[in-house]
Structure 1
């Protein structure tokens, strides 16, 4: 990698951890620089704070071994990502460099990441659905184009398996995957799954692994979102962005903030956590006269605490959540605030009825389970509800179930018919005549 001849800055003020502070002027926030440390290979760094002529840089390779006579050459631009059709099927690290052994992309177009979110005038009211073939999403909490929605979960739950399944099955033109702090097994799980399932030709991977520099964890989401934006705006693509795990991103913000001696706010996180998260989530958009970007991101909750700063702030930004626990998407803890934009409008007329009736019956099944556990006498209806609850978990709540939306609606009617008489469902007569299975 070669760089143009640039002015060297040598007035090093301090080196604290991975933060290098120097005296410089005419420098922009977020600008990249090369740090030359004697005979060592130059290290990439990014400007993270400016106070008059005091410039703080986060050194990607870490501050270990940096000398007080280090030279800093600013590149005159922020981090950039390569954009072209050639990036489909490729794997990049957190700074946009290929890590899959494929050909380099030096001659291709580079785009600055970041920038303002979309002008509201250019946003379209969401009216289209992205079918995932996951019944607990498609039937009960539809994923709508341009929606930003998290998957709330805890460590150990199969959220990576769910995310991979959505990537494989989702009705989207392009899938942009962004992994944050991935361990070795997670990285190769996603890579092998995408390759084996044949979805790599429409997928771009940005993977920041746990062993990579922490500052790359902050750049990877912007790399993925800028790539998604360009596919949507320039090629009219329906783009689905999948991220895991935004808590790792927030922890990276906290770690860098502490290193820069910023005063922490709630539980050690910086006071701008909400703004940092919102500026990423707000990239989701349905563009007027172009494509769309839909964002689905895992947010793990330490200690299963929904009041933790990361999920708490996320809930104020996003349009609902999918709550994954015990290996299943919980119908009661999950919510899609945009589902009413598509249910019964772009989906089948019985969608709303099936959704509401099955949730009501499953709620009754949960109550019947409690009665059974407490050794109360069960009624005939309780027995039916218990049977329905078991079938509902097996056919709909397991994340490995893959069913198209209309087939899932038919399966819903079939499941209800196996447990109840038509009049016990309390639904409209015309829908019963049309969709309730004939004996």
Structure 2
């Protein structure tokens, strides 16, 4: 493709150059020959006027002033080739087969003593300088013309290379783009159409790579994140066998279904993360809404400590933030003991939101583990420009979230 563009442009420029050279060369020859003929015709016209004036004044035909002009009183004395080609014509230009060149003019003389027709025949062969000039310096002219054509072709090649070079560089950079690498085209800062093309192409490719990464992450997360709750549910059903499920087993199945529902919500939210705009909102309000949903679902809020400012303004996506808070509180509710503490204190980038509680010892054998879902939570935080950290100990668990303050 790159060679085709360069060669096509060079062929177009070279063809245009040769065409212009040929046209102007032909035009110059035409102008030279026409000028030469007009000069000869002008001399013959002046001579005709002088002879007519002399005949009108003296009644006789005087000899021409130029020796290359002859006077014939009848057509019989004209050369045969002139007589044939000039028959019935008042003026003519005749190329004889012997290489001679004539200008013919019939002249009717009027005077006091009568009228008379004569014929002026100019043998202008010795006066023709264009053909002689071509014979003498034609070789030099051809050499100079070929040199100029070669120079023009060289300039056309350099021009084609200069014009196509940014496109070739852009094509090379596009070929070297990988889904894992960054998309940064060197031509994007150019102020012309190539810069606009490079900028739009880079944005499009970057968006395509981001979509492919999200699709790959979605496929990977579906396979990874849903396997754990499904395995737990299969184990519960396998251990139950034909007997009815106990209360704790039903609770585990219900928790597994809720976990799958939360995971699917998070996965779809992350798959659409690039198309969800950021906004400023009150994070305290989102936390209180999540707590109310837990209470409505039967969670005992005894021992809850809420140490938050009256208003906690942050920048992010309200939907992703709700999913983040819901998952953190859901883990605390399922795995932790009573005494959940949610606090916002000083820290990096304007403050840290901490969600922590003690781990209930009696659930150590049945809980899925706090590690499950952490990758998804990190991806949620990263999508909003937030930071998140997990701190697990034998008897306690804490999640630190650093939101982006406005």
Q: More strand by proportion, 1 or 2?
A: 1
The answer to whether TM tops 0.5 is no
Query: Greater relative contact order: 1 or 2 (C-alpha under 8 angstroms, separation 6 or more)?
Result: 1
Q: TM-score, normalised by structure 1?
A: 0.21
Bigger Cα Rg: 2
Q: TM-score, normalised by structure 2?
A: 0.23
